[in-house]
Amino acid sequence: MKEFLFLLRHRPVKLKRFYEYLVVSGRGFKNMAKEVDVTKDTESEFCDTSIEAGNKEMNSALAYLQHIDPSGNLHSAVSTTKFADHAIKERKERIDRMTTAMNLLEYKEYHKMKTSTSFQKIKPAGKFKDWLLKDSPNPEVALSAKNWSTLCFFAHETIAEIVDLAFIVRRDNTVGHEQITWSRSMKPLQTAEVMEAIRRFNNTNNSFSTLFGRKAVSPTGYRLLAL
């Protein structure tokens, strides 16, 4: 778990999103402080002051964040700072517009498909694990249920990011044309739109808010959509 925290240290919004997922899922970072050189004083510092007071697992997570960033900025990012998560807001608005335009039968079909995804609250990593290991049922490295759940979360986030970027491509391609509506005539995302979104992401080094702008520059290193 600590590796993902470390990779997200420069992405405060995504760091907080990941931390909130861990809080809600109840999996946390059990005994993480023991895996690194976190002193007992650092760990106990959050026993009475953290938002998860009394929860040893969450306190261990906060202690690890304090360990890799003594300034306290990362700790504040997940515990007290309120960020405007524009991506989540836009996703919710998009779903709301789409479902509002559905009739009863369409909504039942949508609900059935949504509940059959690999990312579920109950045994979230089951279908994802089966899909990933369908060609290698006996992997060389065995992962715990907690690790599979975490990988499932980031797989879900990766797909969500791709969908977000693909809709940006569609929006750019429809500028000056009829406004997009969420009716039955709305076409699903096309493969070309997804591929173009990934191409632009791999060839630009912009934040999400300025992604695909004309002043785009080449990225300085390899990036992952969910990190």
Q: How far from each other are the two terminal CA atoms of the chain, in whole angstroms? A: 13
pLDDT at 125: 66
Could you tell me the residue ranges of all domains in the chain?
2-79, 86-210
Q: Encode pLDDT of 134-181 as tens digits.
A: 888 787 778 888 888 888 889 889 999 999 999 889 888 876 665 555
DSSP string, 62-98: HHHHHHH-TTSHHHHHHHT-----HHHHHHHHHHHHH
Q: How far apart are CA 122 and CA 76, in angstroms?
A: 30
Of 33, 30, 37, nearest in space to 146 by CA: 30
With tokens 């630009």, the residue in question is: 204
Radius of gyration of the chain (CA): 20
Specify the pLDDT at position 48.
43
pLDDT digits (tens, 9 = 90+) for 69-113: 888 888 887 877 777 888 889 889 888 888 888 889 989 988 888
Please state, in angstroms and rounded to a whole number, the distance separating the CA atoms of residues 209 and 119: 26
